[in-house]
A = this chain, B = another copy of it.
Amino acid sequence: MAGRDDRKSLNNQADFKVGVDNVIFSVDTQQNRLLVLLVMRQKEPYLDYWSLPGTLVRQGESLESAAYRILAEKIRVKNLYLEQLYTFGGPGRDPRESAYSYNCRYLSVSYFALVRFEEAELIADGVTGIAWYPLEQVPKLAFDHQQIVEYGYNRLRNKLEYSPVAFDVLPEEFTLGELYQLYTTILGDNFSDYSNFRARLLKLGFLSDTGLKTSRGAGRPASLYRFDSEAFALVKDKPLIFI
Protein backbone atom coordinates (compact mmCIF):
# COMPACT_ATOMS: atom_id res chain seq x y z
CA MET A 1 0.00 0.00 0.00
CA ALA A 2 0.79 3.60 0.28
CA GLY A 3 2.99 6.16 -1.15
CA ARG A 4 3.43 5.09 -4.69
CA ASP A 5 1.49 7.97 -6.15
CA ASP A 6 2.68 10.72 -3.88
CA ARG A 7 4.08 12.15 -7.07
CA LYS A 8 0.66 12.92 -8.49
CA SER A 9 -1.41 13.38 -5.40
CA LEU A 10 1.11 15.53 -3.58
CA ASN A 11 -0.27 15.92 -0.14
CA ASN A 12 -4.01 15.44 -0.28
CA GLN A 13 -4.07 12.15 1.53
CA ALA A 14 -6.38 12.09 4.47
CA ASP A 15 -5.09 11.73 8.00
CA PHE A 16 -6.94 9.24 10.07
CA LYS A 17 -7.77 8.41 13.59
CA VAL A 18 -8.50 4.71 13.75
CA GLY A 19 -11.02 3.37 16.18
CA VAL A 20 -12.05 -0.11 17.05
CA ASP A 21 -15.68 -0.91 17.78
CA ASN A 22 -16.80 -4.21 19.18
CA VAL A 23 -20.08 -5.93 18.47
CA ILE A 24 -20.23 -8.19 21.51
CA PHE A 25 -22.98 -10.75 21.43
CA SER A 26 -24.19 -13.04 24.12
CA VAL A 27 -27.26 -15.14 24.71
CA ASP A 28 -29.29 -15.32 27.85
CA THR A 29 -30.03 -19.02 27.89
CA GLN A 30 -32.71 -18.64 30.54
CA GLN A 31 -34.77 -16.14 28.61
CA ASN A 32 -33.68 -17.08 25.10
CA ARG A 33 -32.65 -13.64 24.11
CA LEU A 34 -29.83 -12.56 21.86
CA LEU A 35 -28.01 -9.70 23.53
CA VAL A 36 -25.60 -7.06 22.35
CA LEU A 37 -23.44 -5.00 24.68
CA LEU A 38 -23.92 -1.24 24.55
CA VAL A 39 -22.34 1.62 26.42
CA MET A 40 -23.64 5.11 26.99
CA ARG A 41 -21.54 7.84 25.48
CA GLN A 42 -20.16 10.33 27.99
CA LYS A 43 -19.16 13.08 25.61
CA GLU A 44 -19.86 14.74 22.33
CA PRO A 45 -20.57 13.85 19.67
CA TYR A 46 -23.62 11.75 20.34
CA LEU A 47 -23.56 12.54 24.05
CA ASP A 48 -25.97 10.28 25.93
CA TYR A 49 -26.51 8.00 22.96
CA TRP A 50 -25.97 4.30 23.31
CA SER A 51 -23.09 3.03 21.24
CA LEU A 52 -20.84 0.05 20.73
CA PRO A 53 -17.90 -0.19 23.09
CA GLY A 54 -14.98 1.26 21.21
CA THR A 55 -11.69 3.02 21.56
CA LEU A 56 -9.10 4.79 19.52
CA VAL A 57 -6.06 2.71 18.66
CA ARG A 58 -3.01 3.74 20.62
CA GLN A 59 0.56 4.09 19.53
CA GLY A 60 2.25 0.73 19.23
CA GLU A 61 -1.02 -1.12 19.65
CA SER A 62 -2.40 -3.57 17.12
CA LEU A 63 -6.02 -3.41 16.03
CA GLU A 64 -6.78 -6.69 17.71
CA SER A 65 -5.10 -5.61 20.93
CA ALA A 66 -7.23 -2.53 20.96
CA ALA A 67 -10.30 -4.70 20.54
CA TYR A 68 -9.25 -6.89 23.45
CA ARG A 69 -8.41 -3.88 25.56
CA ILE A 70 -11.77 -2.18 25.22
CA LEU A 71 -13.52 -5.47 25.81
CA ALA A 72 -11.53 -6.09 28.97
CA GLU A 73 -12.42 -2.63 30.18
CA LYS A 74 -16.11 -3.38 29.91
CA ILE A 75 -16.51 -7.00 30.92
CA ARG A 76 -14.62 -9.69 32.74
CA VAL A 77 -14.85 -12.97 30.86
CA LYS A 78 -13.24 -16.35 31.05
CA ASN A 79 -14.19 -17.38 27.53
CA LEU A 80 -14.08 -15.22 24.49
CA TYR A 81 -14.35 -15.49 20.73
CA LEU A 82 -13.19 -12.52 18.70
CA GLU A 83 -12.61 -11.83 15.04
CA GLN A 84 -12.45 -8.83 12.77
CA LEU A 85 -15.76 -7.87 11.24
CA TYR A 86 -15.52 -5.05 8.75
CA THR A 87 -13.98 -1.65 8.27
CA PHE A 88 -16.21 1.37 7.95
CA GLY A 89 -14.43 4.39 6.74
CA GLY A 90 -16.44 6.66 4.51
CA PRO A 91 -15.93 10.37 4.93
CA GLY A 92 -18.57 12.00 7.08
CA ARG A 93 -19.22 9.04 9.34
CA ASP A 94 -18.01 10.99 12.36
CA PRO A 95 -19.23 14.55 12.98
CA ARG A 96 -15.86 15.49 14.43
CA GLU A 97 -14.38 15.37 10.97
CA SER A 98 -15.96 18.66 10.01
CA ALA A 99 -15.76 20.17 13.47
CA TYR A 100 -12.08 20.86 13.28
CA SER A 101 -10.23 22.84 10.70
CA TYR A 102 -7.43 20.33 10.16
CA ASN A 103 -8.65 17.49 8.07
CA CYS A 104 -8.89 14.33 10.07
CA ARG A 105 -11.01 11.31 9.25
CA TYR A 106 -12.37 8.77 11.67
CA LEU A 107 -12.23 5.18 10.57
CA SER A 108 -13.70 2.25 12.44
CA VAL A 109 -12.41 -1.28 12.33
CA SER A 110 -15.16 -3.35 13.86
CA TYR A 111 -14.69 -6.58 15.73
CA PHE A 112 -17.18 -9.34 16.36
CA ALA A 113 -17.11 -11.01 19.76
CA LEU A 114 -19.00 -13.72 21.57
CA VAL A 115 -19.02 -14.26 25.31
CA ARG A 116 -20.85 -16.48 27.76
CA PHE A 117 -23.61 -14.57 29.43
CA GLU A 118 -23.36 -16.31 32.79
CA GLU A 119 -19.62 -15.81 33.03
CA ALA A 120 -19.54 -12.27 31.72
CA GLU A 121 -19.37 -9.68 34.44
CA LEU A 122 -20.09 -6.14 33.34
CA ILE A 123 -17.70 -3.56 34.70
CA ALA A 124 -19.63 -0.56 35.89
CA ASP A 125 -17.21 2.23 36.58
CA GLY A 126 -19.89 4.33 38.21
CA VAL A 127 -19.82 6.78 35.35
CA THR A 128 -20.39 5.01 32.09
CA GLY A 129 -23.75 3.39 31.45
CA ILE A 130 -23.37 -0.14 30.22
CA ALA A 131 -25.98 -2.76 29.44
CA TRP A 132 -26.92 -5.86 27.53
CA TYR A 133 -29.65 -5.03 25.04
CA PRO A 134 -31.87 -7.61 23.40
CA LEU A 135 -31.20 -7.26 19.71
CA GLU A 136 -34.78 -6.34 18.84
CA GLN A 137 -34.77 -3.59 21.44
CA VAL A 138 -31.57 -1.84 20.45
CA PRO A 139 -32.24 1.92 20.46
CA LYS A 140 -30.98 4.46 17.98
CA LEU A 141 -27.22 4.28 18.23
CA ALA A 142 -24.40 6.75 17.83
CA PHE A 143 -22.49 7.12 14.56
CA ASP A 144 -23.14 4.28 12.08
CA HIS A 145 -23.22 1.72 14.85
CA GLN A 146 -26.67 0.54 13.86
CA GLN A 147 -25.19 -0.65 10.59
CA ILE A 148 -22.28 -2.31 12.34
CA VAL A 149 -24.65 -4.24 14.58
CA GLU A 150 -26.57 -5.41 11.50
CA TYR A 151 -23.35 -6.52 9.94
CA GLY A 152 -22.38 -8.39 13.08
CA TYR A 153 -25.74 -10.09 13.28
CA ASN A 154 -25.35 -11.36 9.73
CA ARG A 155 -21.93 -12.69 10.58
CA LEU A 156 -23.31 -14.44 13.62
CA ARG A 157 -26.07 -16.15 11.67
CA ASN A 158 -23.65 -17.31 9.00
CA LYS A 159 -21.08 -18.58 11.45
CA LEU A 160 -23.67 -20.58 13.33
CA GLU A 161 -24.20 -22.66 10.23
CA TYR A 162 -20.68 -23.85 9.63
CA SER A 163 -18.59 -23.18 12.69
CA PRO A 164 -18.82 -24.08 16.35
CA VAL A 165 -19.30 -20.56 17.68
CA ALA A 166 -22.40 -21.63 19.58
CA PHE A 167 -20.14 -23.20 22.19
CA ASP A 168 -18.51 -19.87 22.92
CA VAL A 169 -21.89 -18.50 23.90
CA LEU A 170 -23.35 -21.44 25.77
CA PRO A 171 -22.14 -22.39 29.23
CA GLU A 172 -19.38 -24.98 29.22
CA GLU A 173 -21.87 -27.68 30.02
CA PHE A 174 -25.16 -27.53 28.23
CA THR A 175 -28.05 -29.70 27.23
CA LEU A 176 -28.93 -30.41 23.65
CA GLY A 177 -32.19 -28.63 24.31
CA GLU A 178 -30.29 -25.47 25.21
CA LEU A 179 -28.16 -25.79 22.12
CA TYR A 180 -31.26 -26.12 19.99
CA GLN A 181 -32.88 -23.16 21.74
CA LEU A 182 -29.79 -21.10 21.02
CA TYR A 183 -30.07 -21.85 17.32
CA THR A 184 -33.75 -21.06 17.23
CA THR A 185 -33.38 -17.75 19.07
CA ILE A 186 -30.76 -16.62 16.59
CA LEU A 187 -31.95 -18.20 13.36
CA GLY A 188 -35.69 -18.34 13.91
CA ASP A 189 -37.50 -21.54 14.66
CA ASN A 190 -38.03 -23.07 11.28
CA PHE A 191 -34.47 -24.01 10.47
CA SER A 192 -34.75 -27.60 11.56
CA ASP A 193 -36.74 -30.01 13.64
CA TYR A 194 -35.28 -30.79 17.06
CA SER A 195 -34.77 -34.49 16.59
CA ASN A 196 -32.99 -34.06 13.29
CA PHE A 197 -30.85 -31.27 14.69
CA ARG A 198 -29.95 -33.48 17.59
CA ALA A 199 -29.04 -36.45 15.42
CA ARG A 200 -26.90 -34.34 13.11
CA LEU A 201 -24.97 -32.66 15.90
CA LEU A 202 -24.31 -35.90 17.75
CA LYS A 203 -23.12 -37.54 14.56
CA LEU A 204 -20.49 -34.85 14.10
CA GLY A 205 -18.74 -36.46 17.02
CA PHE A 206 -17.42 -33.57 19.06
CA LEU A 207 -20.11 -33.33 21.68
CA SER A 208 -19.18 -35.42 24.64
CA ASP A 209 -21.73 -36.56 27.14
CA THR A 210 -20.57 -35.74 30.66
CA GLY A 211 -22.84 -38.36 32.14
CA LEU A 212 -24.40 -35.69 34.32
CA LYS A 213 -28.06 -34.94 34.25
CA THR A 214 -29.93 -31.78 34.89
CA SER A 215 -33.54 -31.23 35.61
CA ARG A 216 -35.24 -27.93 34.98
CA GLY A 217 -38.67 -28.21 36.49
CA ALA A 218 -41.01 -30.63 34.83
CA GLY A 219 -39.94 -33.13 32.22
CA ARG A 220 -37.27 -35.72 31.95
CA PRO A 221 -33.79 -34.63 33.06
CA ALA A 222 -31.45 -33.84 30.19
CA SER A 223 -27.90 -35.00 29.69
CA LEU A 224 -25.20 -32.38 29.97
CA TYR A 225 -22.77 -32.22 27.09
CA ARG A 226 -19.57 -30.33 26.55
CA PHE A 227 -17.78 -29.28 23.38
CA ASP A 228 -14.75 -31.48 22.78
CA SER A 229 -12.26 -29.26 21.00
CA GLU A 230 -9.79 -32.08 20.36
CA ALA A 231 -12.42 -34.14 18.61
CA PHE A 232 -13.45 -31.05 16.70
CA ALA A 233 -9.89 -30.41 15.54
CA LEU A 234 -9.93 -33.77 13.80
CA VAL A 235 -12.98 -33.00 11.70
CA LYS A 236 -12.80 -29.26 11.26
CA ASP A 237 -11.30 -29.45 7.78
CA LYS A 238 -14.25 -31.35 6.46
CA PRO A 239 -17.26 -29.27 5.60
CA LEU A 240 -19.46 -29.12 8.67
CA ILE A 241 -23.10 -28.42 8.67
CA PHE A 242 -24.72 -27.46 11.92
CA ILE A 243 -28.11 -26.45 10.71
Contacts and interface: CB of A to CB of B under 8 A. Distances in A.
Contacts of A73: 5
Contacts of A5: 55-56, 73
B106 A2 contact: yes
Interface in A25-82: 39, 41-43, 51-52, 54-63, 73
A16 B96 contact: no
Given A41-B4, A43-B3, A96-B3, A12 B89 contact: no
A87 B91 CA distance: 17
Interface in A86-110: 86-87, 89-91, 94, 96, 103, 105-109
A87 B90 contact: no
Chain copies in the assembly?
2
Contact of A18 (B21, B62, B89): B89
Contact of A20 (B1, B3, B63): B1
A14 interface: yes
A106 to B, nearest CB: 5
Given A4-B39, A16-B17, A16-B57, 4 more contacts: A1-B51, A14-B60, A18-B105, A59-B105
Interface of A: 1-6, 9, 12-21, 39, 41-43, 51-52, 54-63, 73, 84, 86-87, 89-91, 94, 96, 103, 105-109, 128, 143
